[in-house]
Structure 1
Amino acid sequence: STRGLFVAEGFTNYYGHVMLRRAGLWDDARFLRRESRTISGIENAPGSRLQSAEDASLYAPFIDDAPHAQKTNLENTAISYYPKGELVGMVLDLLMRGRTGGKKSLDDVMRAMYDEFYLKSPNNSYYLRGRGYHVEDLQRVATQVSGVDLTEFFDRYVRSPEK
């Protein structure tokens, strides 16, 4: 669903940086500098106090490259789902690693999502394999994989504009 763009795009950003680190192209310092810029950008963006990750995703068609005939105040009232989703992915990854003693991570969730929504799903159409997912699916799978109740996390960091 459109409410999940922060997962599709933001988690992709996060994993792009993670892969650069895992491949040895970035050292720890560079990876942490990059993630700290994302955190700082979200912390200092006025719109992050007004829009949740889901809302940023939902409003994307009206904000992303949409022509605006009049001057807008979007820089103060909206936030991009890319960095917001990147931060949600990073915090979810760290939370899962912390609560499971490093036994489970966002990697495990992504593998489980791939398995459920692509490999084991009936075709969504005659030309596409798998099916789409909703934010609630991500929450359910992350909870199952980690064994941690993630309701508070999703309510606070995905559904509300809290930081």
Structure 2
Amino acid sequence: MHTLIVILWGLVISLFTMSAPARPLPTIPSGALGVLTITSVKIGSLPFLHGLKGEGRYLTYNAQGELCQAAPVEFIAGATTGDSIGFGERDDIELVVYNDTISKRLLAGQKTVSVDFNIDYQAHTPLTDIHITEGLLREEGFILHPHKAWSSWFGIRPSTLTCHPL
């Protein structure tokens, strides 16, 4: 009986420790500078508020034209549309970057706020800075590389990410 319990407990633990299959690398669309994929998105909701938090990787090209990946890119988002109290997970988020300033800010670890740029949710246009291809709603504003307010008190500067060739 003891052996059966140990075997069953081992099966339960293995179910919770199994890693998800690796997600294939996204394709960078023509004219885009890179694709940011946010995974393991956590969501929290309260009446009239909800927030998202996740971490992702930025797939782009380095100065030599090689495909490379920079990580981690921290991500937070939110809206005033919460209708219940709860916590959970949400599907991955994918953002296609067309703006050179945003691409450089992502690699430099600098905070980038969605309201400062042209965000498209339906289709890419010539004015698009970021095209949201999946995972975010129009009313959800977001920040890439958010920094704690107190960090500036101590002179903490964002660290530049290394874009590792793939």
TM-score (norm 1): 0.23
Higher helix share: 1
Instruction: Point out which structure has higher relative CO (alpha carbons under 8 A, 6+ apart).
Output: 1
Q: Whose radius of gyration is greater, 1 or 2?
A: 2
TM-score (norm 2): 0.23
